[in-house]
Structure 1
Amino acid sequence: MAFVRNQDRRQRLQDAAIEVLAGQGGRGLTHRAVDTAADVPPGTAKNYFPTRQAVLRAVAERCVELYGEVPRPVPADRETLAALMGALLADGAGPGRTRLLAYQELQAEAARLPWLADLVDGIAAADFAAFEQAQRAAGLPVTPARATAVTLALHAALPHLLARAPRTMAATGLDDPRQFARDLLDAVYGPDEPLAR
């Protein structure tokens, strides 16, 4: 039973570290800040994650876990795919915002820390395969270049959604994530291309 409690506390600390990283950035990610966010006695985070590198690793591992929990239904057609993509973008601007902000901070840290780049790379790499499969399932005439363009466009949209900059959102169409997804598919596949056979 003690193991379960320790695992629960470890996850609580990881979730608190995600909140700190999302809210305060990399410089604000300290053991003390994590203890405060998790509402645990001082020194608890350091006991679980002795170094800053260990805290970053714990955040990355938890982000990977949370990413794996995001539901990804298989789209039956183009409109369902657009709805799915729009919902994922809306989640990034809404309930998933803290996780995505932390992930963006991890990517910035990863630019200087190769070991961290290996951890966060798994999330992005999985997206390319998942979105290619989703485009195939929706009946689109997928090529590797088209699948990559769609995934890269979705990734590029995230910082703008997180910043919530109204003029940029309006200029890019991100103020309506579902329509943005439809427009993206139209730009990559053309509005009237026949379905793949």
Structure 2
Amino acid sequence: MVRSNPQRRAALVDAAIEVLAREGARGLTFRAVDTEAGVPAGTASNYFANRDELLTQTGARVYERLVPDEETIARQRTAAPDRETYARLMHELVGRVSAFRSGYLALLELRLESTRRPELRKILTDRVRADLDANIAYHLESGLPGDTTSVELLYLALNWLIVEQLTLPDVLSEAERERLVRAAVERIVVG
């Protein structure tokens, strides 16, 4: 099994994200990944021991690509700790996640697949829980208004808003989505 080329591995996992988003979990095959990545047939099978490993690494890669860039993090750290800043952060989050449409759709496919694959479920559960815990810790350390429950409620509300935007984008207009993000912050975040 070839594992020495990290760029090739990343390209294969990125291709797997695109296949998952477009074809769903059933369409994720080594051959489909090879085709999407534009590499010779059999390449993906040289990098991943089995389909479960490919699924797992694909989930991890989605999260890597969703992390905000350093400029965004620096801007967040220097902003005023008030509800206006909080609303701006939530708009930025929805925008960043929505901009990586294939990644979020792939993540939804992975979540569905995890209902049938206990190992994938454990990995996704650990990753999502760690991400939520990190967001809660950042929130509490930042001095932004609200508490742990505020972060959890916004997490749940905004995740569904993103699903709606990516899967049925004509249900809510852009203006309605912006209004709802602001309303969620205003109603959920006390202080």
TM-score band w.r.t. shorter chain: 0.7 to 0.9
CA deviation after TM superposition for structure 1 residue 92, in Å: 2.4
CA deviation after TM superposition for structure 1 residue 175, in Å: 4.7
Residue of structure 2 equivalent to 1:158: 162
Q: Deviations over 1:108-164 (max 9, x none)?
A: 11111111112212342134234434544353142x333321221122222112113
The reply on whether 1:84 has 2:89 as its aligned counterpart is yes
Distance across 1 between alignment mates of 2:125 and 2:54: 18
Distance across 1 between alignment mates of 2:61 and 2:23: 18
Distance across 2 between alignment mates of 1:176 and 1:133: 30
CA deviation after TM superposition for structure 1 residue 34, in Å: 0.3
Distance across 1 between alignment mates of 2:51 and 2:3: 24
Residue of structure 2 equivalent to 1:187: 187
Letter in 1 for 2:180: F
Instruction: Identify unmatched segments of 5+ residues in structure 1.
Output: none
CA deviation after TM superposition for structure 1 residue 25, in Å: 0.6
- If the length of structure 1 is used for normalisation, what is the TM-score? 0.80
The answer as to whether partners of 1:89 and 1:177 remain within 8 angstroms in 2 is no
Letter in 1 for 2:95: A
Q: What does 1:15-54 correspond to in 2, within 5 Å?
A: 15-54=14-53
CA deviation after TM superposition for structure 1 residue 12, in Å: 0.8
Q: Deviations over 1:89-122 (max 9, x none)?
A: 122222x111111111110111111111122123
Distance across 1 between alignment mates of 2:179 and 2:131: 21
The answer as to whether partners of 1:13 and 1:35 remain within 8 angstroms in 2 is yes
Distance across 2 between alignment mates of 1:9 and 1:83: 36
Q: Deviations over 1:52-81 (max 9, x none)?
A: 112212212322322345554335322122
Distance across 2 between alignment mates of 1:154 and 1:135: 16
Number of residue pairs matched by the alignment: 183
Distance across 2 between alignment mates of 1:91 and 1:186: 21
> Which of 112, 119, 132 is matched with 2:116 structurally?
112
Instruction: Identify unmatched segments of 5+ residues in structure 2.
Output: none
177-186 vs 98-107, which moves further: 177-186
The answer as to whether partners of 1:35 and 1:42 remain within 8 angstroms in 2 is yes
Q: What does 1:72-151 correspond to in 2, within 5 Å?
A: 72=73, 73-74=76-77, 75-76=79-80, 77-94=82-99, 96-133=100-137, 135-136=139-140, 137=142, 139-142=144-147, 144-151=148-155
98-107 vs 57-66, which moves further: 57-66
Q: 1:3 to 1:126 in 2, by over 3 A?
A: closer
Letter in 1 for 2:130: A
The answer as to whether partners of 1:85 and 1:178 remain within 8 angstroms in 2 is no
Letter in 2 for 1:92: V
